[in-house]
Structure 1
């Protein structure tokens, strides 16, 4: 190595080339120095010199071959620097972010509902939105004005241990006897049923909940207590409401083995509705209504009295559930799909 011509002390290894470095490269290259020789003088790798010569070379007017020019290399470097670095999509999609924050806070939509509804219904293009995963990342980074505590489902949940109860009283047909086609959710009119309790005392009211499996339409009915008579009285009122079309709207009901549903199979004697009972301690047999019961807990926490809430309060919760866009429904709402099915029934 020619120490008299070495420039190792003047340039830190790994630093980007400056215009002064490029002028030296141009001079050495014109003097026919090899890439390795130039690299020794600039204290860098030979490949860095090779890349630089490639970027900064152009055909000059007085010659038919490429020649390295320091100014051309600097211009290429400056242009590349404008496009380097990771760009935060948040700042490129401000209109969509305002849409998300508005519907999250005003309509209590989930982040995924915001993404899907924006694309499917509200006219946003794919270039104008970010993914659901990215939105959750922005929440973690506190860019959205939404924090993790605002997300009711972003917590770990423990599962109950499965138990098998012996000598369980048989209330009616088992879910094993249910038509397998119902599991496909392709036919309208198959419901799941459950109760939501408040204070768990005899003097508190309860909520009877029903969820239609295809459209996810959710009904919430306030009843005086959790007795079988109160449950059947509620169903009697429902039958009056839907009248002659009851059999087409309520083809089947799946519920659990609680004593409050002991008389539900009596519906089979007065209508064409089929009633099925889930396996003991198997909430997934009626997962749709269980999921919606969890949504109710956003508004009515466990242990809080149901009778504190008016009929209008309960109806408001029902309306919110049925107007929430769902990914599984291609971001339509349960209410939209239910109304469409009802139009088909009443046109017959």
Structure 2
């Protein structure tokens, strides 16, 4: 086996340097270990005449050179990845990643190799493990591209997916969402401007555990529980099922009603210039819902807020069934909760929402519906809604609840 020959050669090289360090000449050391003098010359040339440094101690978590040599032998014999993994006592995914990085059929964008090369693979692994690594966003061209999308209030995940699609095989223009977050949250990482964190959905310059606020527990006459909502709404297979809520302004004196279609994530913002009492909300919701095509008026899911006390009148006027979430269960309206979080970029907490006109709300909804969404395969809600209306047989369905 080739790996056995390399192992013997490595042992001879190690003995050669021991003899040279002890005072033997290069010729004497070559004769003692049984190699040609030209081989000794090559060893000295490759290490600039100095004994090589002691090999770096590598954690058992990582593949050793001996294991890579075994992988090469077994792979050459035609063993499967699971068989190689069982022989080495490693996970099959570890062998898959190793052969994917360094095998004959590597990841897209890398040159094809003749076969798995264990010594070259081990050298590349050592180079990848070096710290600190150069930060990707130190590249001015990439940083400018990321900044441009952040200023449009795109999330780091949306930016990462967009750049991957736009620049395909150009590794220098691809960046993970986590790298973007680090550039925003950790000073001195990359060339992003420090104030860009204000364009994030939260607007914070630091991380904190996610939390959520509890919905009101007020009781409403004639409520129909979400447990009675048709199953077609839960799996998003049928369009026309909506989730709704209010986002409140300073001291709860102003509000905007939000409606989100569950299948496409398409958002409508309802102007409430006269307050958010039950009758005002009823009238404004009826006006907004009746503009929708009939096939998009199947159901509306809301929390137990008293602003929807007139729900029966809304159902009567729009022929849209209304269901109410359980107390303290905002995840039952997950799409709407997520959208309300996005909207806080435009309507921050503690501000007066009554200053925004109906035209302002239409512009914000259009911009939000024009953002690519990961849950839609990075197309926009506007595109998903357009596909739904033009070709109902092939809708775009969100992948999460």
Match of 1:285 in 2: 332
Q: Note the C-alpha offset of 1:206.
A: 2.3
The answer to whether residue 165 in structure 2 is matched with residue 192 in structure 1 is: no
Give CA-to-partner distance per residue, 1:74-129, whole Å, 9 cap, x none.
2998xx9xx95555251786543321111112x11111110012224x34337341
Task: Choose from 248, 261, 271 the match for 1:222.
Answer: 271
Q: Compared with structure 1, are the counterparts of its residues 160 and 327 closer, same or farther at alpha carbon in structure 2 (3 Å cutoff)?
A: closer
Question: Using the alignment, how far apart are the partners of 1:90 and 1:344 within structure 2?
Answer: 41
Question: Using the alignment, how far apart are the partners of 2:360 and 2:213 within structure 1?
Answer: 34
Give CA-to-partner distance per residue, 1:55-87, whole Å, 9 cap, x none.
xx8884xxxxx343433542998xx9xx95555
The answer to whether the Cα contact below 8 Å between 1:115 and 1:129 also exists between their aligned partners in 2 is yes
Give CA-to-partner distance per residue, 1:298-326, whole Å, 9 cap, x none.
22222321222233332232222211221
What count of residue pairs does the alignment treat as equivalent?
A: 291
SS at match of 1:74: coil
The answer to whether residue 26 in structure 2 is matched with residue 29 in structure 1 is: yes
Which 5+ residue runs of structure 1 have no aligned equivalent? 1-20, 36-52, 61-65
Q: Does 1 or 2 have the higher relative contact order (CA < 8 Å, sep 6+)?
A: 1
> Which of structures 1 and 2 has the bigger CA Rg?
1
Question: Using the alignment, how far apart are the partners of 1:91 and 1:222 within structure 2?
Answer: 41
TM-score, reference length from structure 1:
0.70
Match of 1:183 in 2: 234
Match of 1:102 in 2: 148
Q: Compared with structure 1, are the counterparts of its residues 239 and 152 closer, same or farther at alpha carbon in structure 2 (3 Å cutoff)?
A: closer
Task: Choose from 325, 331, 344 the match for 2:391.
Answer: 344
The answer to whether residue 208 in structure 2 is matched with residue 156 in structure 1 is: yes
The answer to whether the Cα contact below 8 Å between 1:22 and 1:74 also exists between their aligned partners in 2 is no
TM-score, reference length from structure 2:
0.62
Q: Compared with structure 1, are the counterparts of its residues 194 and 308 closer, same or farther at alpha carbon in structure 2 (3 Å cutoff)?
A: same
Q: Note the C-alpha offset of 1:193.
A: 0.8
Give CA-to-partner distance per residue, 1:135-179, whole Å, 9 cap, x none.
2233324313244843443542574687995x9344331101012
Which 5+ residue runs of structure 2 have no aligned equivalent? 1-17, 53-122, 394-401
Aligned pairs (5 A) from 1:37-76: 60=38, 66-69=39-42, 70-74=44-48
The answer to whether the Cα contact below 8 Å between 1:26 and 1:68 also exists between their aligned partners in 2 is no
Comparing 257-266 and 136-145, the one that deviates more = 136-145
